């Protein structure tokens, strides 16, 4: 099965050329991110969204990159828009269930909000904003955990387990600055990085 066969949703009515271009750029962005070219990956994802703004998956990947580069406000906005798109039935891939996809989006939104709340200027300078961000983040994590109880990150931050997800025991101090975690979306998709024979 080719990558194009795995994609459906908001753009399936578009001409094959359009679909091939969007697919190629999206997969290229995933590869750039995997190689550590965060800026290049973000630009490719933005290019995909300029061509086809109705896609949740590129928004989630862009939000993940924005979180990794501490652009948290934009990350939260991209994730929130992805949630809106998914709630209206705009899923691109059929490999991931609706519940898991929406859980990933809510978890990403919650993470961007949580990290904003952790900033010193919020914690020490704006208690009302801190409470608002923490409340929003917790709501996102709780919804994400309800949708997908296997989403360990969401379950942890929703307050539902006694230990942190693997790799999150106490904000590891030895992590490289700007180092990206594996993309949760890509781990679920298990896509090949190149179009299979096209």
CA 92 – CA 167 distance, rounded (Å): 29
User: Which CATH number does the domain housing residue 85 bear?
Assistant: 1.25.40.10
* Distance set, CA 141 to CA 15, 18, 113 (Å): 37, 35, 10
Q: Per-residue pLDDT tens for 13-55? A: 455 676 778 888 999 999 999 999 999 999 999 999 998 898 9
Mean pLDDT value of segment 52-80: 95
User: Quick one: pLDDT at residue 85?
Assistant: 95
Residue 182 domain-assigned (yes or no): no
Residue 97 domain-assigned (yes or no): yes
| pTM score, whole prediction | 0.74
User: Quick one: pLDDT at residue 195?
Assistant: 44
Residue 152 domain-assigned (yes or no): yes
CA 111 – CA 92 distance, rounded (Å): 23
Residue 42 domain-assigned (yes or no): yes
Residue 15 domain-assigned (yes or no): yes
CA 164 – CA 155 distance, rounded (Å): 9
109: pLDDT strictly greater than 90: yes
Q: Are 98 and 70 in contact (CB under 8 A)?
A: no
- Between CA 136 and CA 97, with CA 167 as vertex, the angle to 5 degrees is 60
Q: What is the count of structural domains for the chain?
A: 1
Residue 147 domain-assigned (yes or no): yes
User: What backbone torsions phi and psi does residue 7 show, to the nearest 5 degrees?
Assistant: -100, 135
Secondary structure string (H, E, C) spanning 36-57: CCHHHHHHHHHHHHHHCCCCHH
Residue 72 domain-assigned (yes or no): yes
Residue 195 domain-assigned (yes or no): no
> How far is CA 11 from its chain centroid?
19
Q: State which residues form the domain around 105.
A: 3-161
- Between CA 122 and CA 127, with CA 125 as vertex, the angle to 5 degrees is 70
């Amino acid at each position: 099965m080719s990558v194009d066969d795995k994609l459906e949703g908001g753009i399936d009515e578009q001409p094959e050329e359009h679909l091939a271009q969007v697919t190629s750029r999206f997969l290229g962005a995933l590869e750039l991110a995997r190689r550590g070219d965060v800026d290049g990956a973000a630009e490719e994802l933005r290019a995909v969204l300029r061509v086809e703004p109705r896609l949740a998956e590129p928004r989630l990947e862009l939000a993940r990159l924005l979180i990794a580069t501490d652009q948290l406000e934009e990350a939260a906005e991209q994730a929130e828009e992805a949630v809106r798109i998914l709630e209206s039935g705009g899923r691109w891939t059929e490999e991931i269930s609706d519940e898991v996809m929406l859980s990933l989006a809510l978890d990403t939104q919650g993470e961007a909000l949580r990290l904003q709340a952790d900033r010193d200027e919020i914690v020490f300078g704006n208690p009302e904003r801190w409470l608002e961000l923490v409340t929003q983040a917790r709501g996102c994590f709780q919804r994400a955990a309800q949708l997908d109880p296997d989403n360990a990150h969401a379950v942890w931050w929703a307050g539902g387990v006694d230990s942190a997800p693997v790799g999150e025991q106490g904000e590891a101090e030895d992590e490289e600055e700007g180092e990206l975690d594996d993309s949760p979306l890509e781990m679920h998709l298990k896509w090949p990085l190149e179009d299979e024979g096209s």
